[in-house]
Structure 1
């Protein structure tokens, strides 16, 4: 008796031990569901990825984050910028106004050195874009952490090129205020893009397992302060702009905003309505098939699956369509009392097509023979040819007396008309049988209704 009880106890213990991982996984899923986001990157990974750009001016950084959500657009814009190395500022943005890119991507051609960096790191572009869509709050928190580290190390301060503003921001009356570091151009009409070595400018790096990437100045872009990279920030030549920078941060609510007036002044062909600042929204139309990293983004932006599966879902489920066609053909057999099976018709080359044979009409050279047939299909084409040794009639002659022809959708569009055609065909068969005897069966004309195709047919895109 003791042995049995002991065995039962240990079995229960083993069962509980095996269930613990599943309970923990379920708790993690529940937490992610409650927060509404899926954590695809840790804070350490985000700091590692954002280190090369966290010290960019706010407006430029916000547009970099927006643009990264469209990786293929960025690649195209970087290629355009590389082929126009002397073009920058507002003039460059106006030249790409007709390109099929999101406005945030178009805006970056004003800063060719930025696109040159992004071109060299396409994986970084996609990862930053995925993180910004899935974890925007975490991304913006990472930017603030890095700026505070740089400031603490003594390498982030106001200069002739930039203005560093420290203020308290609050998301609401009940929310605690947080310290926010903003970076703005010292002259709103001239923007300097900084270059720096993260291992220097941020001081001692907190995550040795996630060392930050170092992006030296891209080839062809001089940074006048040669010693700047060793001591902290270095700045290239200032870029004169008036409207190319229209983005910004609402740090209190972790939102990215658009300055409507500046945006509309540069995007004359793609204006938006409103005044002041409006919130930015990702437009999946510019994603151009690039799959989203996380399930929440796929659901939010209407992309259930990526790659070939996404294209298949867009066209329609072929298996479901085939089943629908099979059902329609079987219904067609029953409605016409046709003894031939679906498989037999398919072997004769009629896969999924509706068979329509005119009841009367003139054909080239005189009366058509029993071998002549016109086969309708969804494409609306007429097939004439040899099928199983049977010669098809030539339909190029006068059809003036034949009346309107059936097509593959006539049964679905007008059931009454299809029934009339069927009854007329039956009467014609009966009349011909009586007048010509049993031998006339080989040449009789039959008009059959086309199968109903679930609302008028299946369309592929």
Structure 2
């Protein structure tokens, strides 16, 4: 028995409306259920994340964590880049101590220990800001992108242990739920985790490489990774090992105090190392997880709505801004009294909004058109506009003031300010009188003699010569 067509449509509608069901055509392929966990409007796609993380994905874990933290303060990173250019020989813990009084986030201060890293970040400030926005909005996806890229480099034979770094492969821990709905693809992370650490914890070698070749065949030909050439002064005579160049090592003791926590896709803080280098900004032992400080953002806007809601909240002292601007009860009362005085004097209030200002402008233009049509002698008749009648009353009050022996209001510098239409009429009348006085017939009309140049005398008769 065939079902009616309307019954089939009703069944399909019920299936599509059910929250726990999907239609067959909505599933592109029979992949596992975890692979279909697509984010709702992610800020950056997997392709964009791989492209922006390719230049730094092979950094040692402590240095990578430091770069990710600092990138969330792009304005201060630019200042640190300028400072490093002005002090090219400053590096390591000594450089970090020199900027201890700078109003930068500790993660930004720690980067001055690695001038070659700041030289790379300074080549593209937009890239730095996008990197920080991605880490704030999609930390799980950022960490997953780093692991994908590391596995690609290892498969291409360009990531291995040497005298500069130790590369270890560990079983990937079970992903912890972060409560975020911004994951691009949940099952895109590799089953193992690649950890990169300095061979000597007190000497860090910053690798330099070309992402276009280090990761083998790039998965996104339309969006190739950007290559930032290393600064020559830090990589002169560098050693090439499996496609990576290692320049001069940076001796550190306390400058790197962050590390990647691949189990939770966040950053751990070594409190002891942090306090050793940040003596003026110590933290407690329980502050072993990095948290973004919106105060050090320096007004740089956040890219996504979730970050704006989480970090763009009002800072301390925001409740005092109203009083600082003068919007208190005393000033509001003074404004009300001033407006009442204008009403009693019959003076039009100044506009308090753009809409009211446009309305007053239209009324003034209407008055000018009305005066242009009505002769000057009839401006005071009953056809005058209500506002003109009000202005006539104000002039009558001024004429009756004591001290006006002539019965007329004194002229002053502000005469006509509140009546733009009357000022326009007077200006037009003056221009008309001036142009009239310059005409040749004006002198005859005024009764003055007119002198004309005498005609030249002709020689001979009146005929043509």
TM class by shorter chain equals 0.5 to 0.7
Cross-structure match for 2:228: 215
Question: How far apart, in 2, do the equivalents of 1:242 and 1:182 lie?
Answer: 21
Which moves more between the two structures, 205-214 or 87-96?
205-214
Q: Is the 8 A contact 2:123 2:228 kept in 1?
A: no
Cross-structure match for 1:147: 150
Tell me by how many angstroms 1:341 deviates. Answer: 6.3
Q: Is the 8 A contact 2:176 2:263 kept in 1?
A: no
Cross-structure match for 1:377: none
After superposition, residues 348-427 of structure 1 pair within 5 angstroms as: none
Cross-structure match for 2:115: 112
Distance 1:324 1:294, change over 3 A: farther
Tell me by how many angstroms 1:219 deviates. Answer: 3.5
After superposition, residues 191-206 of structure 1 pair within 5 angstroms as: 191-206=204-219
After superposition, residues 30-429 of structure 1 pair within 5 angstroms as: 39-171=42-174, 178-225=191-238, 227-228=240-241, 231-274=242-285, 278-302=288-312, 329-330=335-336, 339-340=344-345, 343=348
Question: How far apart, in 2, do the equivalents of 1:271 and 1:209 lie?
Answer: 46
Question: How far apart, in 2, do the equivalents of 1:233 and 1:282 lie?
Answer: 32
* SS of equivalent to 2:235: coil
Q: Please, what TM-score do these two structures have when normalized by structure 1?
A: 0.60
Question: How far apart, in 1, do the equivalents of 2:38 and 2:273 lie?
Answer: 34
Tell me by how many angstroms 1:178 deviates. Answer: 3.6
Distance 1:161 1:323, change over 3 A: same
Cross-structure match for 1:458: none
Question: How far apart, in 2, do the equivalents of 1:340 and 1:236 lie?
Answer: 82
* SS of equivalent to 1:256: strand
Tell me by how many angstroms 1:338 deviates. Answer: 8.2
Question: How far apart, in 1, do the equivalents of 2:264 and 2:176 lie?
Answer: 12
Q: Is the 8 A contact 2:261 2:268 kept in 1?
A: yes
Distance 1:313 1:153, change over 3 A: farther
Question: How far apart, in 1, do the equivalents of 2:88 and 2:129 lie?
Answer: 24
Distance 1:251 1:387, change over 3 A: farther
Question: How far apart, in 2, do the equivalents of 1:37 and 1:281 lie?
Answer: 24
> Larger relative contact order (C-alpha < 8 A, sep ≥ 6)?
2
Question: How far apart, in 1, do the equivalents of 2:57 and 2:265 lie?
Answer: 15
What CA deviation, in whole Å up to 9, does each residue of 1:37-86 have, x standing for no partner?
85111101110111010000000000101101101100100111111111
Q: Please, what TM-score do these two structures have when normalized by structure 2?
A: 0.59
Cross-structure match for 2:374: none
* SS of equivalent to 2:112: helix
Question: How far apart, in 2, do the equivalents of 1:316 and 1:157 lie?
Answer: 59
Q: Is the 8 A contact 2:342 2:348 kept in 1?
A: no
What CA deviation, in whole Å up to 9, does each residue of 1:125-156 have, x standing for no partner?
00101111111111010000000101111111
Question: How far apart, in 1, do the equivalents of 2:49 and 2:99 lie?
Answer: 31
Question: How far apart, in 2, do the equivalents of 1:325 and 1:38 lie?
Answer: 47
Distance 1:152 1:36, change over 3 A: closer
Which moves more between the two structures, 168-177 or 92-101?
168-177
Rg larger for: 2
Tell me by how many angstroms 1:96 deviates. Answer: 0.3
Cross-structure match for 1:401: none
* SS of equivalent to 2:344: coil
Uncovered stretches (5+) of structure 2, i.e. residues with no partner: 1-5, 14-21, 27-36, 178-185, 352-401, 403-411, 416-465
* SS of equivalent to 1:220: helix
Cross-structure match for 2:182: none
Distance 1:338 1:52, change over 3 A: closer
* SS of equivalent to 1:82: helix
The aligned length equals 311
Cα root mean square deviation, aligned: 4.1
Distance 1:145 1:173, change over 3 A: closer
Tell me by how many angstroms 1:339 deviates. Answer: 3.1
Question: How far apart, in 2, do the equivalents of 1:274 and 1:35 lie?
Answer: 37
Question: How far apart, in 1, do the equivalents of 2:46 and 2:258 lie?
Answer: 24
